[in-house]
Amino acid sequence: MMSRLAALCFVLLLAPPAARAEVALSGFLQQNTAANTVAANPDGRHYKWLEERAQLKLDASGGAWRLLAKGDFSYDHLGRQDQSELREGYVDYTAGNWDMRIGRQVITWGLGDLVFVNDVFPKDHEALFAGRPLEYLKRGVDAVKLGAYPEFANFELVLSPGFRESRIPDANRFHLYDPMPAVMNRETIKPGQGDVGLRIYRDVAGYDAALYLYRGFQRTPSMRPDSMTAPTKISYFYPQLSVYGASVSGRAGDGVLSLEAAYYDSRQDRSGSDFTVPNSQTRLLAGYQIQPAEDLSLAFQYYAEIMQDYGAYLAALPAGFPVEKRWNHTVTARLTQFFRHQTLRLSAYASYNASNGDRFVNPELRYSFTDKVWGAIGANVFGGKPWGQFGQLSHDDNVYLQVRFNF
């Protein structure tokens, strides 16, 4: 990994456009600690995260070309091996009414705040739950992105030759729900092919409207035992998925209203009768954001997941497995308040699932000591049923610290 990164940096530095390019080098040094407040990790450690990290960013542009490479080098105190990675590394070409980005890039679609309807791109859920800075919530994809901008609409086509999954919390660090804890033999099968997404967007009467199409795979794995009665092996796999969605946002009253919907077509199990594959699903999101006073903003979301073939799901679910409701209603709220000329920021995010009691709260205080140094303290608090998305993490509450020096 390190040698690949070094080779890439070398190639990038010598790339022909660099000859006449403006080149900027920047980066940061960071310390990030998250300590358990309720229980030790399954592996017995007391920290969810404990690392020092350096990021180097190279940004070069010349004419219609731009090259950006962001590489992270980090040292993990909790026993993970080489944590260095290429966060992003791409080349842009910009023409009059089209453009192209090739390489590893972060793509975010949709309007949700920690709720994902049309954002089908890989995430790092572990980063969110382990108190890492927000940018680590997203993982880059290795893709070609083509943009076309004719008069009547804007098109963004994303072609990934290889599938990249979301990172789920590590079972050594988080108490994850496991319906078959006795089965030790486990394997992960990744899709052998890539995926494709298309976003079409434009202004419609002062509102930002978008359509989304995606054909690929679920980013989080499903598990399939080799036998229901006497399982000896569990396979993790990424079921085939297509998503068809739309969103609109604009001013409404004193605030900004966001509406988003998507249909998740579970192609691998359209009848809904395979319990190991997620049922086809409709996702709905309504968000409203206001700014009631200076430096204060409030945002609320209602989010629903609706199972398509609920009867088939119930019929196929083996005895002893937790039963999900057909409708899953979640409400979220976020408060953000700035103080001291916007150098001190208090934010709090809370999510509550009214269908299964799942809840997640993340308060954070962030201060910019100078223009180059900032620090944040915060907490992640989880609750709910032992198999819920957040409920299973109820022993994983933590407080975290992030300190970054930019250069």
Residues of this chain that bind other proteins (CB under 8 A) = 22, 26, 28, 61, 66, 92, 94, 99, 105-108, 111, 133-135, 137-138, 147, 149, 154, 201, 206, 208, 249-251, 254-256, 258, 289-295, 297, 338, 341-343, 368, 370-372, 374, 404, 406-407
What tokens were used for 329?
């209603």
d(CA 61, CA 67): 6
CA angle centred on 362, ends 360 and 366, rounded to 5°: 170
Long-range contacts of 176-184 (CB under 8 A, 24+ apart): 176/392, 176/393, 177/386, 177/387, 177/392, 179/320, 179/321, 179/387, 180/223, 180/225, 180/231, 180/234, 183/225, 183/231, 183/232, 183/233, 183/234
Is the CB of 30 or the CB of 240 nearer to other proteins? 30
d(CA 163, CA 122): 9
d(CA 39, CA 100): 48
Smallest distance from the beta carbon of 347 to other proteins, in angstroms?
14
Is the CB of 111 or the CB of 306 nearer to other proteins? 111
Is the CB of 172 or the CB of 406 nearer to other proteins? 406
Is the CB of 111 or the CB of 261 nearer to other proteins? 111
Is the CB of 220 or the CB of 297 nearer to other proteins? 297
Smallest distance from the beta carbon of 255 to other proteins, in angstroms?
5
Is the CB of 3 or the CB of 370 nearer to other proteins? 370
What is the phi/psi pair of residue 391, to 5°? -60, -40
What tokens were used for 380?
């992640």
Smallest distance from the beta carbon of 335 to other proteins, in angstroms?
13
Is the CB of 58 or the CB of 107 nearer to other proteins? 107
Q: How would DSSP label each residue in 131-173?
A: T--GGGGB--EEEEEEEE--TT-EEEEEEESS--PPBPPPTTT
How many residues belong to the chain?
407
Contact 117, 260 (CB under 8 A): yes
Smallest distance from the beta carbon of 289 to other proteins, in angstroms?
5
Helix (H, G, I), strand (E, B) or coil at 21: coil
Radius of gyration, CA atoms only, the chain: 22
Smallest distance from the beta carbon of 349 to other proteins, in angstroms?
14
d(CA 114, CA 152): 31
Smallest distance from the beta carbon of 293 to other proteins, in angstroms?
7
Is the CB of 42 or the CB of 133 nearer to other proteins? 133
Smallest distance from the beta carbon of 169 to other proteins, in angstroms?
19
Is the CB of 154 or the CB of 282 nearer to other proteins? 154
Contact 326, 306 (CB under 8 A): yes
Smallest distance from the beta carbon of 180 to other proteins, in angstroms?
35
Smallest distance from the beta carbon of 101 to other proteins, in angstroms?
8
